[in-house]
Amino acid sequence: MVKVAVVGATGAVGEVMRQVLDEHKFPYSEIRFLASEKSVGKSLSFQGKTYQILPIAPESFEGIDVVLSSTPSSVSLVSSPMAAAKGAIVVDNSSAWRMDPEVPLVVPEVNPHHLDSIPKGIVANPNCSTIQMLVALKPLHDAATIKRVIVSTYQASSGKGAKGLEDLDGQVEAIGRGIAVPDAKAHIARLAGNVLAHDWKLAEEGYSEEEWKMVRETQKILGVPDLPVCPTTVRVPVRTGHSESVNVELVHPLSPEKAKEILRNAPGIILSDELKGDITPQPLMCEGRDEVFVGRVRRDPTVAHGLTLWVVADNLRKGAATNAVQIAETLLKRGIIPIKR
Ligand SMILES: NC(=O)c1ccc[n+]([C@@H]2O[C@H](COP(=O)([O-])OP(=O)(O)OC[C@H]3O[C@@H](n4cnc5c(N)ncnc54)[C@H](OP(=O)(O)O)[C@@H]3O)[C@@H](O)[C@H]2O)c1
Q: What is the pLDDT of residue 277?
A: 65
107-116 pLDDT per residue, tens: 999 999 999 9
Measured from the CA of 37, which atom of ligand 1 is nearest? 40
- Ligand 1 midpoint to CA 305 (Å): 41
Any residues with CB less than 8 A from the CB of 210 and at least 6 apart, and which?
127, 129, 200, 231, 233
| 145 backbone φψ class: left, alpha, beta (φ>0; ψ -120 to 50) | left
Name the residue of 71, 214, 314 whose CB sits within 8 Å of the most ligand 1 atoms, as the mutation to test its pocket. 71
Where are the chain's structural domains? 2-125+320-333, 130-315
Catalytic, 242? Answer yes
Give yes or no on whether 2-125+320-333 and 130-315 have one common fold.
no
Any residues with CB less than 8 A from the CB of 206 and at least 6 apart, and which?
none
Which protein residue has the closest C-alpha to ligand 1 atom 40? 36
Identify the CATH number of the domain defined by range 130-315.
Answer: 3.30.360.10
Give me the percent of the chain exceeding a pLDDT of 90: 96
202 pLDDT exceeds 90? yes
Q: What is the mean pLDDT of the chain?
A: 97
- Ligand 1 midpoint to CA 73 (Å): 9
Which residue among the candidates 128, 141, 187, 286 is catalytic per the annotation?
128
- Ligand 1 midpoint to CA 323 (Å): 16
Q: Which residues line ligand 1 (CB under 6 A)?
A: 8-14, 35-36, 38-39, 56, 70-73, 75, 93-94, 128, 158-159, 161-163, 315-316, 319-320
Mean pLDDT of 136-144: 98
339 pLDDT exceeds 70? yes
208-225 pLDDT per residue, tens: 999 999 999 999 999 999
* Contact between 2 and 66 (Cβ < 8 Å): yes
Mean pLDDT of 22-31: 98
68-85 pLDDT per residue, tens: 999 999 999 999 999 999
Instruction: Report the SS3 class of residue 182.
Output: coil
* Contact between 107 and 131 (Cβ < 8 Å): yes
Which protein residue has the closest C-alpha to ligand 1 atom 39? 10
Mean pLDDT of 23-50: 97
246 pLDDT exceeds 70? yes
Give me the percent of the chain exceeding a pLDDT of 70: 99
What is d(CA 96, CA 138) in angstroms, rounded to the nearest whole number? 24
**Helix segments in the chain, DSSP class H:** 12-23, 73-85, 128-144, 161-177, 209-222, 256-264, 283-286, 322-333
Q: What is the pLDDT of residue 43?
A: 98
What is d(CA 180, CA 185) in angstroms, rounded to the nearest whole number? 15
Catalytic, 198? Answer no
Q: What is the pLDDT of residue 116?
A: 96
Look at the domain 2-125+320-333 and name its fold: Rossmann fold (3.40.50)
Q: What is the pLDDT of residue 199?
A: 98
pLDDT band for 274, please (50, 70, 90 cuts): confident
DSSP-derived letter for residue 148 is E
Measured from the CA of 79, which atom of ligand 1 is nearest? 33
145-192 pLDDT per residue, tens: 999 999 999 999 999 999 999 999 999 999 999 999 999 999 999 999
Q: What is the pLDDT of residue 109?
A: 98
Q: What is the pLDDT of residue 275?
A: 66
- Ligand 1 midpoint to CA 53 (Å): 15
pLDDT band for 97, please (50, 70, 90 cuts): very high
Q: What is the pLDDT of residue 340?
A: 75
Q: What is the pLDDT of residue 230?
A: 98
